[in-house]
Amino acid sequence: MATSVRTGTRAIAATGERHGEEVLCIPRRTIFPDGAWHGLVTTGLVRVLRTIRAAAQYRPRGQVEDDPAQQQVIPYCIVRHDDGTYLLTRRLHHSTERRLHNLYSLGAGGHINPGDGVAGDPVIGGLRREWREEVCCPSPATARLVALLNDDTTPVSQVHLGLVFLVEPRAGRVTVRETEKLEGEVLGLEAMRRHYQNMESWSQLAYDDLVAGAPDRAERSPLVVELEPAP
């Protein structure tokens, strides 16, 4: 639901192809054994990663797209530059996910597919693939898991579970790759505030967490992934 949802999720161009895609899911009752909560959770991330690796399965996207009993796992990347600015994108009318047109997003990312787990951890594989597909980045970058995100307030977000990564490139500015679907700008948090009411719900939650100090927590992340340049 830019999941990257995209409230994080990356739309597939043809509807039939999208619904035939297999995506990594975790049953809601498994990931929320004590009942679902709303918002961002910053503790217990090791347990969540362990649960996803042990119990998640790939399912046809067409079968789970409207089924909140299955949470589609979304690596959701928030880009922070070394000067404290962030990449903010806006979905254009050519974006396939019509429910999110013209909304702003702080996150880039999307579904995890079977090929992402071939070399090992599917979360890491999906994160790296989505990074290459979503953005252009001139330098290596470091992604740190900072939160788990759940939001049941919209039809799009209630069927997705966000793994929120703070991604910091070592040099240069990150730009959007799919310029026919997205436009992007680089803003500080204060300047970004004027777009808050027009952000996707996931991005509003992420913005609030950034203001509350997510960058300071990143150094204690239980999962750190090195990303190659995405020219």
Distance set, CA 40 to CA 43, 93, 162, 205 (Å): 9, 29, 9, 7
Mean pLDDT of the chain: 88
Helix 45-55 with 122-134: angle, nearest 10 deg: 100
Q: Is the bond preceding residue 201 a cis peptide, omega within 30 degrees?
A: no
Residues spanned by the domain of 91: 15-227
10 within some domain = no
101 within some domain = yes
- Structure confidence at residue 119 (pLDDT): 76
Any idea which residue has 């991005």 for tokens? Answer: 203
**What domain count does the chain have?**
1
5 within some domain = no
Average confidence (pLDDT) over 6-22:
50
Beta carbons of 201 and 7 less than 8 angstroms apart: yes
Alpha-carbon distance of 149 to 40, in angstroms, equals: 5
Alpha-carbon distance of 131 to 229, in angstroms, equals: 9
Residues 6+ apart with CB under 8 A from 226: 140, 141, 142, 143
- Structure confidence at residue 120 (pLDDT): 86
**pLDDT, tens only, 61-120:** 999 999 999 999 999 999 999 999 999 999 886 545 444 457 999 999 999 999 998 878
Amino acid at 199: M
pTM: 0.88
- Structure confidence at residue 102 (pLDDT): 76
- Structure confidence at residue 112 (pLDDT): 97
Alpha-carbon distance of 160 to 9, in angstroms, equals: 9
34 within some domain = yes
In terms of Cα–Cα distance, which of 177, 20, 206, 27 is closest to 104? 206
pLDDT tier for residue 10 given thresholds of 50, 70 and 90: very low
Average confidence (pLDDT) over 133-147:
97
- Count of CB atoms within 10 A of residue 9's CB? 32
6 within some domain = no
For the domain that residue 86 is a member of, what is the CATH number? 3.90.79.10
Distance set, CA 81 to CA 75, 167, 175, 178, 192 (Å): 19, 8, 11, 20, 14
Residue 15 has pLDDT above 70, yes or no: no
24 within some domain = yes
**pLDDT, tens only, 17-43:** 555 799 999 999 999 999 999 999 999
**pLDDT, tens only, 201-223:** 999 999 999 999 999 999 999 99
Q: b vs e for 15-36, b when ≥16 Cβ sit within 10 Å of the residue's Cβ?
A: eeebeebbbbbbebeebeeeee
- Structure confidence at residue 154 (pLDDT): 84
Going by the DSSP 8-state scheme, the letter that residue 153 receives in this structure is S
215 within some domain = yes
190 within some domain = yes
- Structure confidence at residue 18 (pLDDT): 56
**pLDDT, tens only, 151-184:** 998 888 899 999 999 999 999 999 999 898 889 9
